């Protein structure tokens, strides 16, 4: 579709770790983009499988392969990709996801036609799949200045759907390498403090679940502890900004309280619920999480 050398250059970044069997599909989906003025940066986060051999099978001079000497995690790998990029726009793809061929061209069109004055990120809709089976579609319509809505929720689609203007990274915005879970949500908060967000109202990404490799988001005890750490970092990191939105702040406090209850730390759970109520008694999410916590404690609901 696009053969104009004057068209904006797009850097596509795939981060990967020990998922060589899934990686080929992701690479294929980038190289088959209708918008051809791209580079593909693959950041191998110190894989111990045959990832390097899989990448070597692709004979395309648009590919740059970087291998970390140690496993640094998703945020660090993405930041390395950004620092190595040459594009005016940057798009991320997880190694177990897949782009539709016209994703890049649709997002470039959205950046050109956006109604906002300072758009920094454009996302698309996505669908959840297991193999060829469609589970459900995620089609948010949030746009504009979204910080308020990103405090206690993830109002847009996941990272594999994003395209980001390079100017976003020219300030202090980066993926937080201290957060073990909730990386995408933290990044959206950072972006939405300074830039508008827009979207393409079309499914352009397949998000695969239930393969043999684990996703970062899970409800295991360790997964919940990582979620709590991420929430507590959010409360400290954006303390001043969050305080302007007491209902959303109290909602996040209540979510943290419930997560503490899930791992059996009832003292912390009560403390966070108390903070939530003091912050705003009008947040419905307080009472939803309080009911869930009571049910959990008395054994009416089994949470893993």
Beta pairing class for 97-99 and 196-208: antiparallel
Give residue 292's pLDDT band: very low, low, confident or very high (50, 70, 90). confident
> In this structure, which long-range contacts are made by residues 264-271, counting pairs with CB atoms below 8 Å and at least 24 apart in sequence?
266/297, 269/293
Give residue 288's pLDDT band: very low, low, confident or very high (50, 70, 90). confident
Q: What is the pLDDT of residues 50-84, one digit of tens each?
A: 999 999 999 999 999 999 999 999 999 999 999 99
For the record, the structure tokens of 179 come out as 């957060």
User: Looking at residues 33-44, what average pLDDT do you find?
Assistant: 97
Cα 245 from Cα 148, distance rounded (Å): 7
Every domain range in the chain assigned CATH 3.90.550.10: 10-208
Cα 253 from Cα 256, distance rounded (Å): 5
Cα 69 from Cα 47, distance rounded (Å): 9
Q: Is the pTM of the predicted complex or chain greater than 0.75?
A: yes
Q: What pLDDT is attached to residue 185?
A: 96
Return all residues near 191 (Cβ < 8 A) that are at least 6 apart: 120, 121, 164, 168, 173, 197
Identify the architecture of domain 10-208 in CATH: Alpha-Beta Complex (3.90)
The answer to whether the CB of 242 falls within 8 A of the CB of 146 is no
Q: Which residue has the higher pLDDT, 300 or 34?
A: 34
- Chain CA centroid to CA 261, Å: 26
pLDDT at residue 131 is higher than 90: no
User: Looking at residues 95-116, what average pLDDT do you find?
Assistant: 97
Q: What pLDDT is attached to residue 216?
A: 46
């Amino acid at each position: 579709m696009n053969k104009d050398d004057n068209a904006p250059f797009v850097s596509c970044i795939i981060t990967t770790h020990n998922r060589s069997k899934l990686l080929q599909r992701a690479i294929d989906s980038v190289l088959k983009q209708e918008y051809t003025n791209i580079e593909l940066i693959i950041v191998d986060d110190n894989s111990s499988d045959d990832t390097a051999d899989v990448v070597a099978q692709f004979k395309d001079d648009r590919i740059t392969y970087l291998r970390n000497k140690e496993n640094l995690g998703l945020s660090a790998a993405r930041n390395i990709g950004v620092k190595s990029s040459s594009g005016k726009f940057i798009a991320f793809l997880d190694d177990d996801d897949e782009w539709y061929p016209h994703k890049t061209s649709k997002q470039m069109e959205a950046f050109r036609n956006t109604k906002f004055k300072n758009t920094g990120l454009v996302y698309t809709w996505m669908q959840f799949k297991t193999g060829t089976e469609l589970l459900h579609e995620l089609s948010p319509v949030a746009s504009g200045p979204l910080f308020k809505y990103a405090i206690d929720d993830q109002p847009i689609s996941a990272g594999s759907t994003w395209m980001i203007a390079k100017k976003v990274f020219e300030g202090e915005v980066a993926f937080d390498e201290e957060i073990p879970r909730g990386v995408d949500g933290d990044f959206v908060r950072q972006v939405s403090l300074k830039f508008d967000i827009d979207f393409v109202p079309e499914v352009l990404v397949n998000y695969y679940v239930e393969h043999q490799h684990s996703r970062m988001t899970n409800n295991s005890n360790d997964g919940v502890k990582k979620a709590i750490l991420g929430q507590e970092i959010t409360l400290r990191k954006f303390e001043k900004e969050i305080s302007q939105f007491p209902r959303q702040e109290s909602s996040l406090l209540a979510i943290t309280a419930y997560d503490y209850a899930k791992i059996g730390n009832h003292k912390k759970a009560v403390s966070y619920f108390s903070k939530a109520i003091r912050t705003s008694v009008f947040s419905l999410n307080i009472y939803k999480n309080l009911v869930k916590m009571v049910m959990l404690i008395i054994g009416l609901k089994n949470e893993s």
